[in-house]
Structure 1
Amino acid sequence: MSDLSISKQSEPGGVGSVNKERRGELLQKFGALASLFALIIVFATTSQAFMSMGNGMSVALQVTSIAFLGLGATAVIITGGIDLSVGSVLALAGVADALAIKAGASIPLGILVGLTVGGICGAINGLFITRLKLPPFIATLGMMLVARGFALRLTDAQPVSGLGQGFATLGNGTLFRIERMGDDGFPNVIFPGIPYPVVIMIVLAVGLWLVLSRTRLGRHIYAVGSNAEAARLSGVNVARVTLFTYVLSGVLAGLTGCVLMSRLVTAQPNEGVMYELDAIASAVIGGTSLSGGIGSVSGTVIGAFTIGILRNGLNMLGVSSFTQQIIIGVVILLTVCIDQLRNRKS
């Protein structure tokens, strides 16, 4: 049966219901974009340093971790699932990357080890959910504990250091950096360059957007989230599609771990605590529905920048980290409330 048939049968209300939900998604996405611009205006007027080139690059670099995890969370949530393990998986993957390099592996091979560890964790999550029929919340909660435990056990809860400057390239290197020698003999930075993690974020966002919007697999992901049983009857391999999204989430968590550890030039087994909440929040703020079937890459990127700019601006205003948690928590609650109201109207 054609993909068009799948999309028509995915919701009991038919095409009209789907179009109504898409309109709701667009409204929430544009609402998030308006909120993002509002934050930029507020922080720009309250802090002169906020709009500087250096701070802009710093915000973009900080946002990358949220965006990497948020992109994986978007695919998972669209299918109607959830992944609570990404914070712990990124720590385990980063530790595995560092230990491999410490043992003599090359930098690329170490990164490959980290990505593989993340993918394996994601595959285990997916198999527990699709084969053993465990609720995604329980399966990924268990993986969250197991992965964190392995990261701490492998390192005896100690950071892995002495990895060399080459280890820092992925997280701290830049593209198109421009320097000019000054009269004093020291280089003057004309353009700080685009950090490698930002370049990777752009490539990943474009790649996932193409998958979700231009491929059969992407249409099947939306169909599974809209109505898994209708998708199955239409010939979609629901288990395989679901498994793919969890493997993708795990690989992106592994990439996040490699990038974060590279930025620190040290592997921290306690890194990534509560990052899963940022990932879910970035997706939901951007219009991804926790009920499944609705979501977009552009919305998630907007959500990631909203969280990153909010944190950066509050830091520049001297707001304590405790107050920041309250503010961001309120933002997440309001966003989820809007999502639930949208679903009820649909």
Structure 2
Amino acid sequence: MSEASNPWTAGGERRVLIAREQLHRASALLTLLLLIVGFAMASPAFFSVNNGLTVLLQTSVIGLLGIGLTLVIITGGIDLSVGSVLALSGVVSAMAVKAGLPVVPAMCCGVLAGAACGAFNGLVITRLRIPPFVATLGMMLIARGLALQLTGATPISQLGAGFGRLGNGALFRVVEMQPNGFPRVVFPGIPYPAILLLVVAIAATYLLRRRQIGRHIYATGSNEEAARLSGVNVDWTKMYAYTMSGALAGLAGNVLMSRLVTAQPSEGVMYELDAIAAAVIGGASLSGGVGTIAGTMIGAFIIGILRNGLNMSGVSAFIQQIVIGLVVIGAVWIDQVRNRR
């Protein structure tokens, strides 16, 4: 294969691609800033500390799912099962706690359950050659059915304060006791979910930029046949991406259920659309080969702030669904226009 025919070795084409990614990410960042300014003008409470913490907590789940989706989308695939896997993983963690396991090992069981679902997706796609859309749609139904069957469609509650520490705890939180005996929060601290999201985002960025598997993920999505001829194990690369997506969905499930201190088997419905929208808004191409974790983080905050701002403005949940749907369509349309150019 000649250097000119390979977009990952042709310097000119690569520089153009990087410039387009940077432009798209800059436009997404500008959109985020405009949303912040607009909602701040509409509601003075938007810039309050409590609302800022709410946005961080809401965005952490979307961000974790979005990072996993980004890995899959870059390979040229899609994962529609992350919302259901989130629910199943949270249920597995809660059932492990109920069975007597300490909280940390129990949550690890939930993450492993999510990784197993992702690995199953990868096997079906690479071995049975079933399109990712159909394979992950099937897993979406399987995981949701398992979560409902295991719980009898009822929430698992009374999980203890330790189970809620991940979702509701914060680093550097300062609380003082008042003379009346009631505690007062002096500094709310940095929520653990936000710290977890930052760590995962940094690790995923390092993986994509500095590790061989990251280069293989980009190569697979850019031109699968060329990547295979260049010595890339395409099937293993896809397996890795889908397994990571499932594991991060399991981690997001732990965060969400920990916030609720209850395992809800019905949680996570339509979360996959928010995650896909975050990745595409941030510059990931549904055609594969393009995408960054930084862009996905910007997209996740756009979705999170949009939902939060609409809530504060008194917009009904039904109208919010319409708005988010239009955002998803607009993001995909922009992606298609970019690809044609």
Q: Does 1:98 align with 2:94?
A: yes
| Letter paired with 2:85 | V
Matches within 5 A, 1:13-24: 14-24=10-20
1:275 to 259, 271, 274: 271
- 1:253-272 to 2 correspondences below 5 Å: 253-272=249-268
Which residue does 2:188 correspond to in 1? 192
Which runs of no fewer than 5 residues in structure 1 stay unpaired? none
Q: Distance in 1 between matches of 2:290 and 2:303?
A: 21
Distance 1:58 1:202 in 2: 16
Alpha-carbon distance in 2 for matches of 1:270, 1:57: 25
* Residue 183 of structure 1, CA deviation: 4.5
Contact 2:8 2:219 in 1 (8 A): no
Greater Cα shift, 202-211 or 171-180: 171-180
Match of 1:165 among 155, 161, 167: 161
Q: Distance in 2 between matches of 1:285 and 1:12?
A: 23
Asked if 1:251 is matched to 2:258, the reply is: no
Rounded Cα–Cα distance in structure 1 between residues aligned with 2:324 and 2:283: 17
Aligned pair partner of 1:120 in 116, 119, 134: 116
Aligned residue in 2 for 1:217: 213
Query: How much is the aligned-residue C-alpha RMSD, in angstroms?
Result: 1.7
Q: Is the 8 A contact 2:8 2:14 kept in 1?
A: no
Distance 1:15 1:23 in 2: 12
Show the counterpart of 1:37: 33
Q: Which position in structure 2 is the counterpart of 1:70? A: 66
| Structure 2 counterpart of 1:87, from 72, 83, 87 | 83
Equivalent position of 1:155 in the other structure: 151
- Tell me which of 195, 201, 204 is aligned to 1:205: 201
Contact persistence 1:22–1:294 (CA under 8 A): no
Matched, 1:28 2:24: yes
Given the superposition, is the C-alpha separation of residues 209 and 172 from structure 1 closer, same or farther in structure 2, using an over 3 Å criterion? same
SS at match of 2:175: strand
- TM-score when normalising by structure 1: 0.95
Question: What does 1:46-57 correspond to in 2, within 5 Å?
Answer: 46-57=42-53
Residues 8 and 149 (structure 1), Cα distance of their counterparts in 2 relative to 1, 3 Å cut: farther
Deviation at 1:67, TM superposition (A): 0.2
Change (3 A) 1:180 1:121: same
* One-letter amino acid matched to 2:265: P
SS in 2 for 1:162: coil
Moved more, 278-287 or 183-192: 183-192
Distance change (3 Å), C-alpha of 1:35 and 1:78: same
Q: Label 1:6 to 1:185 Cα distance change in 2 as closer, same or farther (>3 A).
A: farther
Matched-pair contact (CA < 8 Å) for 2:72–2:79: yes
Please say if 1:60 is aligned against 2:56. yes
Q: Which amino acid aligns with 2:31?
A: S
- Note the C-alpha offset of 1:328: 1.5
Aligned equivalent of 2:316? 320
Matched-pair identity in %? 59
Superposition pairs of residues 233-248 of structure 1, within 5 angstroms: 233-248=229-244
> For the residues of structure 2 that align with 1:311 and 1:233, how far apart are their CA atoms?
45
> CA 1:121–1:172 in 2, change beyond 3 Å: closer, same or farther?
same
Question: Matches of 1:130 and 1:94 in 2, distance apart?
Answer: 27
2-structure distance, mates of 1:11, 1:130: 24
Stretch deviating more after TM superposition (157-166 or 246-255):
157-166
User: Could you say what secondary structure the match of 1:166 adopts?
Assistant: coil
- Equivalent residue for 1:286, pick from 279, 282, 286: 282
Contact kept, 8 Å, 2:60 with 2:197, in 1: the verdict is: yes
What is the match of residue 301 of structure 1? 297
| Counterpart position of 2:228 | 232
- C-alpha distance 44-232 of structure 1, shift in aligned 2 (>3 A): same
1:164 Cα deviation (Å)?
1.3
Distance change >3 Å, CA 156–CA 185, structure 1 → 2:
closer
SS in 2 for 1:180: strand
Query: What's the CA shift string for 1:248-280, capped at 9, x where partnerless?
Result: 000000111111111111111101000110110
**How far apart are 1:217 and its partner, in Å?**
1.1
- Report how far residue 181 of structure 1 moved: 3.6
Residue 107 of structure 1 is matched in structure 2 by 103
Which blocks of at least 5 consecutive residues in structure 2 are unaligned?
none
Cα deviation code 1:180-200 (max 9, x no counterpart): 344444333221011111110
Q: 1:76 to 1:8 in 2, by over 3 A?
A: farther
Letter in structure 2 aligned against 1:310: L
Contact 1:68–1:256 (Cα < 8 Å) also in 2:
yes
**Aligned equivalents of 1:15, 1:277: Cα separation in 2:** 35
Instruction: Give secondary structure in 2 for the equivalent of 1:167.
Output: coil
8 A Cα contact 2:3 2:9, kept in partner: no
Structure-2 change in CA distance of 1:7 and 1:44 (3 Å): farther
